[in-house]
Amino acid sequence: MTVRAGRFPGSIALLIGLILGGSLAGGASAEPSVADRSIAYPSARRGDQVDRYHGIAVSDPYRWMEDVDSPETRAWVEAEAKLTSDYLAAILGRDRIAQRLTELWNYERWSAPEKRGTRWFYTHNDGLQNQSVLFTAADPGQPARALLDPNTLSKDGTVAFKGAGYSDDGRLMAYGLSEAGSDWEVWRIRDIATGQDLPDQVRHAKSIGASWLKDGSGFFYSGFDESAEGESLKTQNKYHTLFLHRLGRPQAEDVMVYRRTDDTDWYVGGQVTDDGKYLVVTAQHGTDVRNTLQVATPASGVALKAVIAEPRASYQFIGNIGSTLYVQTDDDAPRYRVVAIELQRPDRKHWRTVVPESRDTLNGTTLVGHQLIAQYLRDAHSVVRRYAPDGKRLGDVTLPGLGTASGFSGRIDDAVTYYEYTDYTTPVSVYGLDLKTGRTSLWRAPRLAGFRSSDYQTTQVFYTSKDGTRVPMFVTARKGTHLDGRNPTILYGYGGFNISELPEFSAGVAAWLEIGGVFAVANLRGGGEYGRAWHEAGMKTHKQIVFDDFVAAGAYLIANHWTSRDRLAIRGGSNGGLLVGAVEEQRPDLFGAVIAHVGVMDMLRFREFTVGKGWEADYGSVDDLDEFTAMHAYSPYHNVRTNVDYPPTLILTGDHDDRVFPAHSFKFAAAMQHADPDGRPILIRIDLRAGHGAGKPLSKRVDELADVYAFVLHAMGLAR
């Protein structure tokens, strides 16, 4: 695209003029607000289901929607889907938003190369491919050939590549595929030289990876027992198990290596060390970050020996040098440290601290080229340091800005490693790091059609939450944005499961910035930005603190004139969908629009479906009175009220979401529509052949985001 003289590239100026009819901050008045349009919602029967928890009666009138395949539920879903589709399609400018999103997404993207044997592997997307393609080359600087192209496996792009594990010699690849957004994976083995698949298949796998024996005769993976026919998207997943698959043998003969039988909700994983001497097995109860760690010697069988028998803290295996294991842990170090554990004497009293805890949060560590690459978070952005295995500081990796660095993978004898860097206005660029000299060099950097990163800036601010805690937030906008309280703003948050929200480029965010929007991300408690204490402050009976943090973020943006109530939208997905749903019920007066993706909306029954019971480690259990009381008090579904002026709300889910069961969104939407049938629009967008989000084809992401932005702009009275 040719960039014309003036403030905006030509197509951007056209987009702004046609969609918005002038500046977002003022100009002609908009067409009548969506609040003025009456909507006839599909009928949803209210049942008489009542459950009792600790003697408290709790009504669940839409329990019947949990049978997602019943004729009644399907009829309601189809009627809601048509209503929402017709409504969104009628919003002026929606198609032009989709067109610009497509233009912005049409840029090359690469992952950081990884080496196995004599070959390098990385993914590449030429721009508008629904799925990225896996490539291999003898050298990252030389031409590569496609090894796996998921785009050829389905017409609609809904078969996704979920990961690969390579044999030590780089001869074989175990790779996983999923269909229609499901978390369930099927793994196959490909001969890398010929590109042909072996007959082996591994099914019923989920979140597995693949770690090969040193001789390439087989690999370890994790999975569940097969679900009953027709129940794989709903039924509880129990007894996650580590298996060994031997090449050329049927899956029925795979060896069960490790399974916790004392409880159904332990998750297990196994990793063979680079030298092939050890199998390191970890186990954690649900999503609890604390875990055990055991070791076996594959050459002599898989008898496990406990190194860390009790899950009192997080113990993340980094790598080994001989019989010394390097482990990242928050044991006696809430912001994490690296310890060396000798297998001959693994007792805690013999641990040696290699990298001590610091004021920054140690977010991840790799052992590559006889160096420990320590990736820290300093107020939620990356700082990278290099250490020798004895703890000697070797220097820092200089990063381009206030962003996120990731990667740094490799083997103990590698001479170079690659990493990715990104921030809110910079697409992912890939760099090489010479481990001998410490010098970095740019390997790949994309170019976007008409988007100039230099036109925008990210500011990190700190605001005060309800209890006086200082919380960071990133605010990204066009340079020179007037703080007049009139900027359309999207506030995003997550706040759970020790997950940190870090700066990352998105073509979707770029499109929002182009049309004059402000994009804010609050680093809420419940995440991992400041280590264990930050996470635990937003868990279980303390979950309300997360919502208080988010409300305070919105209040800060309004008080500091970034925006106003009518032009402030909140958005979140999964646990973030719970976040915006709960906050909407508590403070409907604070927001102009709510976008809830695949949210956990029924806090009393999440454990009944797929992997939900594992979330009790973060949310709590209804079996505990205090935890039940806390969850019941904020559960979005159970706190919907009549005679409340709710903001325009768009609820999104996928019919193949087997992580957060779609009935969460169905029930919440039905309850909201019943409570506020004559108010602002409350719509549910149900994507077909789509799941929780991972592996969603580009075409579906563009359509979804165009609908979201059209809905938000219309809610704000700014669509043209």
Give the active site residues.
574, 692
Q: Tokens standing for 428?
A: 């992912």
Q: Are strands 489-492 and 518-522 parallel, antiparallel or unpaired?
A: parallel
Distances, alpha carbon 520 to alpha carbons 460, 475, 491, 493, 606, in Å:
10, 4, 5, 9, 29
Strands, DSSP E only, in 3-84?
50-53, 56-59
Interhelix angle 94-105/10-20, rounded to 10 degrees, is 160
CB 86 within 8 Å of CB 79: no
Taking the C-alpha atoms of residue 76 and residue 667, their distance in angstroms, rounded to an integer, is 11
Q: Are strands 50-53 and 159-166 parallel, antiparallel or unpaired?
A: unpaired
Taking the C-alpha atoms of residue 523 and residue 509, their distance in angstroms, rounded to an integer, is 17
Phi, psi (degrees; rounded to nearest 5) at 59? -80, 140
Residue 135 falls in which region: left (phi positive, over 0), alpha (psi -120 to 50) or beta: beta
Phi, psi (degrees; rounded to nearest 5) at 27? 95, -160
Which residue, among 544, 498, 495, has the nearest Cα to 522 in the 3D structure? 495
Q: Are strands 159-166 and 172-179 parallel, antiparallel or unpaired?
A: antiparallel
DSSP 195-253: -PEEEEEEEEE-S---EE-TTSSEEEEEE-PPPPTT-TTTSPP---EEEEEETTS-GGG
Taking the C-alpha atoms of residue 217 and residue 169, their distance in angstroms, rounded to an integer, is 11
Taking the C-alpha atoms of residue 325 and residue 341, their distance in angstroms, rounded to an integer, is 5
Taking the C-alpha atoms of residue 203 and residue 226, their distance in angstroms, rounded to an integer, is 8
CB-based burial label for 197 (10 Å; 0-12, 13-18, 19+)? middle
Which residue, among 667, 681, 677, has the nearest Cα to 716 in the 3D structure? 681
Count of H helices and E strands in the chain? Answer: 11, 39
Which residue, among 416, 462, 457, has the nearest Cα to 439 in the 3D structure? 416
Distances, alpha carbon 552 to alpha carbons 464, 485, 497, 558, 588, in Å:
7, 16, 21, 10, 14
Distances, alpha carbon 34 to alpha carbons 16, 31, 139, 593, 719, in Å:
20, 9, 56, 11, 10
On the CB side of 165, CA atoms within 13 Å amount to: 22
CB-based burial label for 533 (10 Å; 0-12, 13-18, 19+)? exposed
